[in-house]
Amino acid sequence: MMDRTVVVLGGGAAGLMAAGRAAEAGARVVLVEKGGTLGSKLLLSGKGRCNLTSAEEDMQTFIARYGPKGKFLYPAFTRFGPRETVRFFEDRGVQTSVERGKRVFPARGGAARVLNCLIGYLRQGNVTIYRNREALNLIIREGRAERFILRGQEAEGAAFIVATGGKSFPKTGSTGDGYRFAERAGHRVIPPEPALCPVRTREQWPLSAQGTTLRNVTLTLWEGGKKKTERFGEMLLTNFGISGAIAMDMSREIAQAAEGGQALLTIDLKPALSHETLTARIGRDFMKYAAHPVGDGLKDLLPMGLIPVVLERAAIPRERGVDTLGGDDIRRLVDAVKALSLTPDGLLGFRWAMVTAGGVDLREVDPRTMRSRFVENLYFAGEVLDLDGPTGGFNLQMCWSTGYLAGESAAKAALG
Ligand SMILES: Cc1cc2nc3c(=O)[nH]c(=O)nc-3n(C[C@H](O)[C@H](O)[C@H](O)COP(=O)(O)OP(=O)(O)OC[C@H]3O[C@@H](n4cnc5c(N)ncnc54)[C@H](O)[C@@H]3O)c2cc1C
């Protein structure tokens, strides 16, 4: 056994934080990363801008965003929560700013700045970094983790932290290896599923409007004619269907409903306007564009890419003059704008999912330390755990919090 050494597997958000904190707490630390670079997924986060947490101040509300499993996070958030996270980065020169929907980003420099800050934290603690070193197997003897077999070498330690991420976006290195190590230690793994994932639709029309961002719309999921859930915000039309924040946030519920074969999605393009107000608004626009084709009459109301789609849904030929439309035509137009329908046909899968639902069963991990309940010197942090949240900085926050706590607890154990 290597005295005082903490071995951290995985150089993502959770592993970087865990390694830095373990070193700060006095342990000798080895960080093992399969890929050639650290933080590959972190660099992609928030489209390269890194939505590193949420500015939601109420802890109950924050934790509720992870669903019923969120209560596992109380001790980690109490020790190192969103406020401490912002202070951590700001104290190390990463100023933050709060944007729409309480999303917190670095004010400058994006994800690269966040990664550099964490690499600085590792340097400060003299963390030894092994790159291009894949962990293959975990050796456990008499209830204690003894060493990890790496490709070409071994890593011995007094404590071990598994922070290998989930299975989503596998090109960043997250290929679900940690589940195997957890199972070896006797843990149950809740079957991983893609979450925050783009949605495929049967209809082809999103292709004709691909790249169009729909802002301030409401997306509603129906199953067997009953409303299941809805979200207000931003979404994106793509060549295969829909993506963007609200579509991804609803993706698991959409996938479940689609499996039953009775799912329908509707987009209300103008949720702030009632049918009556929208009818009046279209009437005013049509007066303004009275001598034009109907497509022109809608250009102040709708994104250009969507006008042909809405007209087709309302069964109105594009070339018809605005002044030839009657009350029935306008009723159909209003209906199409208020409930543009799509049939979901499953998700794009792990390859494009932002996060993985499922993972190491939380009942078998001590939330006060992140320690395995079966192997006394084994810890878990980040997405490898059965935790996932919505878009908006929630997924990185749970990596920072569990990583910090795992690092600190493993260091304490390693130092005896
Ligand atoms: C495109 C995209 C955008 C996102 N944007 C945001 C955002 O803005 N805000 C937010 O909160 N969340 C965002 N997320 C989610 C967030 O990035 C992840 O939840 C988070 O990065 C997970 O961190 P992690 O450290 O647990 O795992 P990962 O980042 O997946 O890191 C795991 C690391 O372990 C390494 N590894 C795996 N197996 C082995 C092995 N056998 N041996 C050695 N090393 C191994 C991998 O190579 C990898 O580097 C985004 C995700 C994606 C895909």
Q: What CATH number is associated with residue 16?
A: 3.50.50.60
**Which among 330, 288, 286, 284 has a CA at the least distance from the CA of 311?**
330
Looking at the structure of the chain, the number of domains it has is 2
| Ligand 1 pocket, residue 263 CB under 6 Å | no
| Ligand 1 pocket, residue 403 CB under 6 Å | no
Ligand 1 pocket mutation pick from 45, 180, 197 by most atoms within 8 angstroms of CB: 45
Q: Which domain holds residue 205?
A: 198-348
| Ligand 1 pocket, residue 192 CB under 6 Å | no
| Ligand 1 pocket, residue 115 CB under 6 Å | no
Q: Are residues 287 and 317 in the same domain?
A: yes
Q: Are residues 37 and 81 in the same domain?
A: yes
CA 268 to ligand 1 centroid distance, Å = 33
CA 266 to ligand 1 centroid distance, Å = 32
Helix axes 13-24, 110-124, angle to 10 degrees: 30
Q: Are residues 407 and 263 in the same domain?
A: no
CA 166 to ligand 1 centroid distance, Å = 7
Q: Are residues 108 and 158 in the same domain?
A: yes
Q: Are residues 59 and 125 in the same domain?
A: yes
The H-or-E segment that residue 357 falls in is strand 355-360
> And the tokens for 163?
């922070």
pTM: 0.93
For residue 3, what pLDDT is reported? 84
Do residues 8 and 15 lie in contact, with contact meaning Cβ atoms separated by under 8 Å? yes
> And the tokens for 314?
């309302």
Q: Are residues 376 and 340 in the same domain?
A: no
Q: Are residues 175 and 27 in the same domain?
A: yes
Q: Are residues 241 and 300 in the same domain?
A: yes
| Ligand 1 pocket, residue 238 CB under 6 Å | no
| Ligand 1 pocket, residue 401 CB under 6 Å | no
Residue spans of the chain under pLDDT 50: none
Q: 304-310 long-range contacts, Cβ below 8 Å, gap at least 24?
A: 305/208, 305/209, 305/210, 305/211, 305/212, 305/237, 306/209, 306/212, 306/214, 306/237, 306/269, 306/340, 308/208, 309/205, 309/208, 309/209, 309/340, 310/269, 310/336, 310/337, 310/340
Ligand 1 atom closest to residue 178's alpha carbon, by position in its atom list: 38
Ligand 1 atom closest to residue 382's alpha carbon, by position in its atom list: 26
Q: Are residues 117 and 47 in the same domain?
A: yes
| Ligand 1 pocket, residue 173 CB under 6 Å | yes
Q: Are residues 125 and 142 in the same domain?
A: yes
> And the tokens for 113?
């700045």
| Ligand 1 pocket, residue 177 CB under 6 Å | yes
Examine the fold and report which residue of 304, 323, 348 is the final residue of a domain before the chain moves on: 348
Among protein residues, the one with the nearest Cα to ligand 1's atom 24 is 165
| Ligand 1 pocket, residue 39 CB under 6 Å | no
Q: Are residues 176 and 215 in the same domain?
A: no
Per-residue pLDDT reduced to its tens digit, 351-366: 999 999 999 999 999 9
Examine the fold and report which residue of 331, 348, 365 is the final residue of a domain before the chain moves on: 348
Ligand 1 atom closest to residue 15's alpha carbon, by position in its atom list: 25
Among protein residues, the one with the nearest Cα to ligand 1's atom 50 is 45
Per-residue pLDDT reduced to its tens digit, 189-237: 999 999 999 999 999 999 999 999 999 999 999 999 999 999 999 999 9
Q: Are residues 154 and 59 in the same domain?
A: yes
For residue 2, what pLDDT is reported? 64
**CATH code of the domain in which 343 resides:** 1.10.8.50
Examine the fold and report which residue of 297, 329, 348 is the final residue of a domain before the chain moves on: 348
Among protein residues, the one with the nearest Cα to ligand 1's atom 47 is 173
| Ligand 1 pocket, residue 406 CB under 6 Å | no
CA 373 to ligand 1 centroid distance, Å = 24
> And the tokens for 250?
């609803």
Q: Which residues contact 406 (CB under 8 A, 6 or more apart)?
A: 14, 18, 161, 163, 369, 370, 379, 380, 381
Round to whole Å and give the CA distance between 354 and 102. 19
CA 41 to ligand 1 centroid distance, Å = 5
Q: Which residues contact 144 (CB under 8 A, 6 or more apart)?
A: 375, 376, 377
| Ligand 1 pocket, residue 13 CB under 6 Å | yes
For residue 1, what pLDDT is reported? 52
